[in-house]
Structure 1
């Protein structure tokens, strides 16, 4: 019988990467909000296709499931904690570096955005990509960590051999 464990051989690297990513996200958000004061500056064109803007996202990715009420906000915080905990357990037992990085980045992004929900009531987003009349959604570094983490996990899933899924952790 296998025991369910919260700490595994990959826990320390997952923890270090996740904390570093979360701290970078939160430091950048603090600088944008209070140092750079993006809300007072309005739209700042960085390149012909990238602007810095201030958008408060009360929902999840792409602005889905907007939650203006406190109940919705705290439900999203709860879901964030559950997802981070599940990825922590999974990542703590990861066997390859790409998996470790992927799980850690998703955790960093989820917690970075979760902190925003607790502190501000919504997620602070700043980066707006656009080309001509096409406008992509506005996002932040935590979103970048999540996308990079998922991409790393997907990439890693294609690196293994056809029988990797059938192997036990002790093999």
Structure 2
């Protein structure tokens, strides 16, 4: 079965989507828009905001195309895991987290017209984000680890001395 080949990828993607959607559901049930609950006063708050744009509210005035981008990225990552040879564990984790984040934010974009954000580091006035954003960023770090661990390929010509 093809799902077994990159099992870690599929599991991580599914867990990421579920965590993202459960936390967003909790926020929608318990917060008013722009309401903030300090977990550590002046450092970290849960602050419910919506974002029609991309990360850091980029393209927020014209972000409708982002729903289609998340769909294309999601389908591309699923095709990668389905049709490629077995990925190593870091690649599976990285691509799985990115897929989970793309699906999580994509669900919001298609069904709500915006992304629900609520994690807010107030100490450094960092933009408010969500679990899907965290998944995507950790996924990128996993792929960077793969890139840094993989030795550069030798050219087939003469070896350098």
Mapped to 2, the partners of 1:91 and 1:62 lie a distance apart of 29
Equivalent residue of 1:39, what SS?
A: coil
Kept in 2: contact 1:18–1:104 (CA 8 A): yes
1:161 aligned residue: 151
1:61-112 CA-partner distances (Å, limit 9, x unpaired): 11000146xxx42x21111111112222334435310000000000000100
Unmatched segments (≥5 aa) in structure 1? 1-6, 167-171
How far the C-alpha of 1:39 sits from its partner, in A, is: 1.4
1:95 aligned residue: 87
Mapped to 1, the partners of 2:122 and 2:5 lie a distance apart of 39
Question: Does residue 145 of structure 1 match 2:140?
Answer: no
103 and 40 in structure 1: CA distance in 2 versus 1, 3 angstrom threshold: closer
Mapped to 2, the partners of 1:41 and 1:117 lie a distance apart of 19
Q: TM-score, normalised by structure 2?
A: 0.84
Instruction: Kindly report which structure 2 residues correspond to 1:57-136, keeping only aligned pairs within 5 A, or say none.
Output: 57-67=51-61, 72-73=63-64, 75-92=65-82, 93=84, 94-131=86-123, 134-136=124-126
2:159 aligned residue: none
Q: TM-score, normalised by structure 1?
A: 0.80
Kept in 2: contact 1:57–1:123 (CA 8 A): yes
Mapped to 1, the partners of 2:94 and 2:105 lie a distance apart of 17
Mapped to 2, the partners of 1:119 and 1:130 lie a distance apart of 29
Unmatched segments (≥5 aa) in structure 2? 157-161
What's the Cα RMSD here? 2.3
User: 46, 50, 56: which one pairs with 2:39?
Assistant: 46
Query: Runs of 4+ in structure 1 displaced over 4 angstroms?
Result: none
How far the C-alpha of 1:12 sits from its partner, in A, is: 3.2
